[in-house]
């Protein structure tokens, strides 16, 4: 009986320990600023835990997974240009054998839109890969939804 209790305890403790190991070093937030009755800017902000980074939208083939931002089509708005990003850190990464561009601590991506209606909700997804000096996590996708009033 004691051995069954011990096995059950170890199983529950092990399950809790494995749950604690799930890493989520990137934290996303979203905002919008109306710049006129017919225009707005969507802000997509990533805050990264210390030591972690995500990659630029502009990575050559053969490198890490670049950040990709997709907006769901809507009759209420149109995208103006492409999603812009600030100047990234660029350095040679031996693992990939090439220069790569990335962001540490935080980054804000911006997308201008033209509004066809006064109010709408902009939805989409962000695909990205997170790495630190020791490892990379599997690519992740974050869905977003931003209301414009």
pLDDT greater than 80 at residue 140:
yes
- Residue predicted with more confidence, 133 or 126: 126
Annotated domain spans of the chain: 25-148
Q: Helix, strand, coil shares of the chain as percentages rounded to 5?
A: 15, 55, 35
Looking at CATH, the fold of the domain delimited by 25-148 is given as Immunoglobulin-like (2.60.40)
Which tens digits make up the pLDDT trace of 42-89?
A: 999 999 999 999 999 999 999 999 999 999 999 999 999 999 999 999
Q: What is the pLDDT of residue 96?
A: 86
Partnered with residue 148 across adjacent β-strands are 120
pTM, entire model? 0.84
Q: What is the pLDDT of residue 95?
A: 81
CA distance 79 to 76: 11
- Percent of the chain whose predicted confidence (pLDDT) is above 90: 80
């Amino acid at each position: 009986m004691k051995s069954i209790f011990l096995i059950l305890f170890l199983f529950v403790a092990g399950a809790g320990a494995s749950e604690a190991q799930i890493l989520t070093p990137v934290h996303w937030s979203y905002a919008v600023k109306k710049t006129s009755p017919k225009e707005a800017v969507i802000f997509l902000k990533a805050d990264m835990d210390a030591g972690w980074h995500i990659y630029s939208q502009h990575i050559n083939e053969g490198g890490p997974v670049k950040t990709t931002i997709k907006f769901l089509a809507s009759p209420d708005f149109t995208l103006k240009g492409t999603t812009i990003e600030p100047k990234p850190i660029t350095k040679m990464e031996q693992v990939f054998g090439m220069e790569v561009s990335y962001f540490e601590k935080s980054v804000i991506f911006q997308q201008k839109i033209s509004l066809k209606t006064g109010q709408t909700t902009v939805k989409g997804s962000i695909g990205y890969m997170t790495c630190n000096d020791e490892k990379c996590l599997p690519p992740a996708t974050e869905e977003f939804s931003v209301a414009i009033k």
